[in-house]
Chains A and B, each alone.
Chain A
Amino acid sequence: MTFNAPALLFVIVGLALIGWLAGRARSALLAARAGVKLHSRPQYHGWYVALWLFAPAALFLALWSSVSPALVTSAVLETPAAQGLPEFGFERGAILSDARSTAAGRQAAVRLPAAAPLVEPYRQAAQRYGAIGIGAMLALALAGGLYGYSRVGPGLRARSRVERIVMAMLLLASLVAILTTFGIVMSLLFESIRFFRLVSPAELLFGTHWNPQSGAPQPGTFGGIPLFWGTVLIGAIIAMIVAIPIGMMTAVYLTQYAAPRVRRWVKPCLEVLAGVPTVVYGYFAALTVAPALREFAAMLGVPNASSESALAAGIVMGVMIIPFISSMADDSINAVPQAMRDGSLALGATPNETIREVLIPAALPGVMGGILLAVSRAIGETMIVVMAAGLSANLTANPFASVTTVTAQIVKLLTGDQEFNSAKTLAAFALGLVLFLVTLLLNIAALRIVKKYREAYE
């Protein structure tokens, strides 16, 4: 028997359904008897039995699916047929996976001759462990179901038990997201540590020359400063110069001046702007904005004007960020109590004076939080910079020149044919880690500011 997790899940769902019906039927029979008052209604007893049947078996199924391939492989390696395998490396892995695929029936015959003797041991081990897994799972399901069924009775608080189990399942669901994040961070961290064995962290963080080559790492070619500078220039400087004033003015107009009818139209339009795929912004930047800017720069007589420029990427990224800033600023301005606005107007201030002198200063902490979140989004943005900013790592303050960013370089390092143990490829993980840490710090700072500010008006 082979271990087929989806099919088995189907089986235990079916068993749970039977358990549900059995539990409900038993308690319904009990309830029908004279003088018996059940604590919970029959369908809770049904759920109680079904969950007892389903949960242990499903947990076992998940566990067994993740450990059984390793068990099968180690069993195969102990057979005499595995003695001839190369000790390490890519070839050994390829032979093993070839044999595994053939044994599982995913391909008709082996592609590597060396894998042929391993197919039969694989098939045997897979069947053995599959049978063990299925047997154990069914036993667990039956045991759980019988236990649940035996407990069905007038005194069973099935309703509150089901409540608790549901809570536990919801907790598990929320853990999935957290554990996934944790796993991603861990993989980033381990690959980065491998990179930092080859290249020192100081070189990545403070070196000024970026030109990674395949093969053994060349000293002095992994300086991240041009990338960091490009990221800051595009995401934190140019994009914010565009987005902050326009976003703020939009928010002020929408909250203070716009008639409700205008607001009803403009706000959804802004939300549409936020929903445009970034790749669309990317080609808008690369095909429309960048050439126009280059001509403009040439007219001004700027040297090194490139068809890929920090300015083009930054401006378009700023446009992308506008809805983000305006909606944060909108919320912050709306959170300023109406009494504050009335107080200023009652002193004879004009609406404009009220906005400048009272509303914006009062909303500023919230707006600052929003800006930090926007910066963190901008520096993690990829498509626009890949398409419009270029890939040459220049350390320049000239916004018309081509620069590159951390995200663009990660794309460059990881696309195409790459061997996964060279410093050049591993550098992508180290860059990803730096980016992750910076955006994490920005987000924490922003959320703290916003939270503190909210408390101030409650």
Chain B
Amino acid sequence: MTHDELTIANPKMKAEGVDVFYGAKQAINNVSIDVGTDLVTAFIGPSGCGKSTFLRSLNRMNDTLASARVTGKITLEGEDIYAPSMDVVQLRARVGMVFQKPNPFPKSVYDNVAYGPRIHGLAAGKADLDLIVERALVRAGLWDEVKDRLGESGTALSGGQQQRLCIARAIAVNPEVILMDEPCSALDPIATAKIEDLIHELRGKYAIVIVTHNMQQAARVSQRTAFFHLGTLVEYGKTADIFTNPKQDRTKDYITGRYG
């Protein structure tokens, strides 16, 4: 793998020689990658290639699985996130996450967004919290749809709205990175288009990493694309290059639909 495209001026996160094991099974093998600060990075690859596993090691969500073990080095702004001195709770506030299936809490729309700011003590008072909630919902493109029903349950919204609510919930804690794990796989095309628009809006404000099955989606929303296969990073580069001029045969086969 050539490294010229990989060099990013000021990477937000940097992974070096990362292995992830589930028990005795190795899910990720020696992956090194930089995540750009002002870029959207897409992880693509066939099912079971380890792209979601790798994403979950970026905010240490793999810690919740007793059998998972991560070796190698992952840094956020130069800090080793697996160092004993790293506070996982703070890390996850800085590296937010949006999941495959919308998972709003069974609380009101307002309380869903206010959840993070409340537990991290980000708001000085009720008025401040109102402002944070409104700003997050505006950023997530949901404000106009829910401003009159903030008291309604978050689970009563449509699937696409629920996913934008989850994005608003992540934004409300002011993260530096947002990880999205196939955020549109449970949504219809219109809701998907809205989320993709939203990703465009959010670019530059947050470093975004998105895992997707959908290559068109990766081509539309991302500036950098990483192709994973069988737990290894096969190719990483500018999205345009990966899709028009892949250097590896495996990448070419995948992109042209030979497998996956």
Instruction: Report A's interface with B, CB cutoff 8 A.
Output: 259-260, 337, 339-350, 353, 357-358, 361-362
B97, A357: Cβ atoms closer than 8 Å:
no
**Are the C-beta atoms of B105 and A346 separated by less than 8 Å?**
no
Check: B107 CB closer than 8 A to any chain A CB. yes
User: When A260-B66, A340-B103, A358-B105 are in contact, do A346 and B119 touch as well, CB less than 8 Å?
Assistant: no
Q: Which residues of B contact A340 (CB under 8 A)?
A: 103, 105-106
Q: Does B12 contact A (CB under 8 A)?
A: no
Report how far A348 CA is from B88 CA in the complex, Å: 7
Asked whether any CB of chain A lies closer than 8 Å to the CB of B59, the reply is: yes
Whether A339 pairs with B101 at a CB distance below 8 angstroms is: yes
The answer to whether B61 and A342 have CB atoms under 8 Å apart is yes
Question: In the complex, are the beta carbons of A361 and B61 less than 8 A apart?
Answer: no
Q: Contact between A349 and B119 (Cβ–Cβ < 8 Å)?
A: yes
Q: Which of B91, B96, B103, B115 touches A339 (beta carbons < 8 Å)?
A: B103
Interface residues of B in 88-119 (CB under 8 A from A): 89-94, 96-97, 99, 101, 103-107, 115-116, 119
- For B173, what are the chain A residues with a Cβ–Cβ distance below 8 Å? 347-348
Bound-complex Cα distance A404 to B231 (A): 68
In the complex, what distance in Å separates the CA atom of A347 from the CA atom of B101? 16
Residue in A339, A341, A358 whose Cβ sees the most chain B Cβ within 10 Å: A339
- Is B166 part of the binding interface, using a Cβ–Cβ cutoff of 8 Å? yes
Chain B residues whose C-beta falls within 8 Å of the C-beta of A357 in the assembled complex: 105, 115, 119
- Answer whether A344 and B105 are a contact pair too, CB < 8 Å, given A260-B66, A339-B99, A350-B89: yes
A348→B120 contact, CB < 8 A: yes
* B245 contacts chain A at the CB level, 8 A cutoff: no
Residue of A nearest to B87 (CB): A348
Does residue B216 face the partner (Cβ distance < 8 Å to A)?
no
Q: How far is the CB of B80 from chain A (nearest CB, A)?
A: 18
Task: Tell me if A346 and B61 are in contact (CB < 8 A).
Answer: yes
Q: Which of A260, A346, A358, A361 is B97 in contact with, Cβ under 8 Å?
A: A346
Chain A residues, CB < 8 A from B97: 342, 346
5 A-B pairs besides A259-B66, A357-B119 with CB distance below 8 A are A340-B105, A342-B61, A343-B104, A344-B115, A361-B105
Encode B40-82 as 1/0 by CB contact (under 8 A) with A: 0000000000000000000101001010000000000000000
A389 to chain B, nearest CB (A): 40
A362 near B106 with CB under 8 A, answer yes
Q: Could you say which of B91, B103, B106, B170 contacts A342, with CB atoms under 8 Å apart? A: B103
Contact partners of A348 in chain B: CB under 8 A:
89-94, 116, 119-120, 173
- Does the CB pair B89–A343 fall under 8 Å? no
CB-contacts of B224-244 with A (<8 A): none
- Please measure, in the bound complex, the distance between the C-alpha atom of A362 and the C-alpha atom of B111, giving whole angstroms: 14
- Contacts A350-B89, A353-B119 given; indicate if A345 touches B64 (C-beta within 8 A): yes
- State in angstroms the CA–CA spacing of A162 and B64 once bound together: 54
B99 contact set on A, CB distance < 8 A: 339, 342-343, 346
Is B169 touching A347 in the complex (CB atoms < 8 A)? yes
Please measure, in the bound complex, the distance between the C-alpha atom of A37 and the C-alpha atom of B166, giving whole angstroms.
66
List residues of B (155-176) whose CB comes within 8 Å of A's CBs: 166, 169-170, 173
* B64 near A343: Cβ-Cβ < 8 Å: no
Q: Which of A337, A341, A342, A347 contacts B116 (CB 8 A)?
A: A347
The 9 closest A-B pairs by CB, nearest first: A348-B93, A346-B97, A339-B103, A348-B92, A343-B103, A347-B116, A348-B89, A362-B106, A349-B119
Query: How far does the Cβ of B155 sit from chain A's closest Cβ, in whole Å?
Result: 8
CB contacts (< 8 Å) of B120 on chain A: these are 348
| Identity of the chain B residue whose Cβ is nearest the Cβ of A363 in the assembled complex | B106
Are A337 and B119 in contact, with the CB atoms below 8 A? no
- By a CB distance below 8 angstroms, the chain B residues around A344 are 105, 115
Enumerate chain A residues within 8 angstroms of B105, measured Cβ to Cβ: 340, 343-344, 357-358, 361-362
Q: Could you tell me the distance between the alpha carbons of A124 and B97 in the complex, rounded to whole angstroms? A: 90
Q: Cβ of A341: which chain B residues have Cβ within 8 Å of it?
A: 64
Q: Which residues of A contact B94 (CB under 8 A)?
A: 348
Residues from chain B with Cβ under 8 Å of A345 in the complex: 61, 64, 92
User: What's the Cα separation between A341 and B64 when bound, in Å?
Assistant: 10
Q: Is the CB of B66 within 8 A of A347?
A: no
